[in-house]
Amino acid sequence: MNVKEIYENALALSISRTDEEENLDFYAVKLFNILLDEIRIYNDQMRLKKGKKPLEKPLKVESLEGQIDCEEELYAALSYGFAAKLLAAQEDYNLATLYNNQYITLLTVTSPAVEMEVE
């Protein structure tokens, strides 16, 4: 899945108007990279549970067309987290809080409990 697909999911969740999308595009990659930093520990937990090594470098994308190198179980959480960030940027804090809570819930529910060192 690429960033644009998650972005489109987030726009659908945030019920953004089409004329605002161009303004949001400018911030989308930056916001998404913040989100990827937030989910890194969850991604590494999932990788360890599957017998994979944690990623050696932080997740990062350069464009909306960039591929996301994270475990697919996180895609739904990413959509809600991205929607929350987009809504907060548009100062719709009530809906942003609702989606942020769903984001946190999805991260918690989908993440396995594994022992790992935290840096």
pLDDT in tens, 19-62: 555 566 767 888 889 999 999 999 999 999 999 999 999 899 98
Question: Amino acid identity, residue 73?
Answer: E
Question: Residue 92, exposed/middle/buried by CB under 10 A (0-12, 13-18, 19+)?
Answer: middle
Give the pLDDT confidence score for residue 117 in this predicted structure.
Answer: 66
Of 25, 76, 74, 36, which Cα lies nearest the Cα of 58? 36
Give the pLDDT confidence score for residue 10 in this predicted structure.
Answer: 80
Q: How far apart are CA 54 and CA 49, in angstroms?
A: 10
Q: How far apart are CA 88 and CA 100, in angstroms?
A: 10
pTM of the full structure: 0.78
Average pLDDT over residues 79-84: 92
Give the chain's mean pLDDT: 84
Provide the 3-class DSSP secondary structure of residue 2.
Answer: strand
Of 5, 3, 9, which Cα lies nearest the Cα of 29? 3
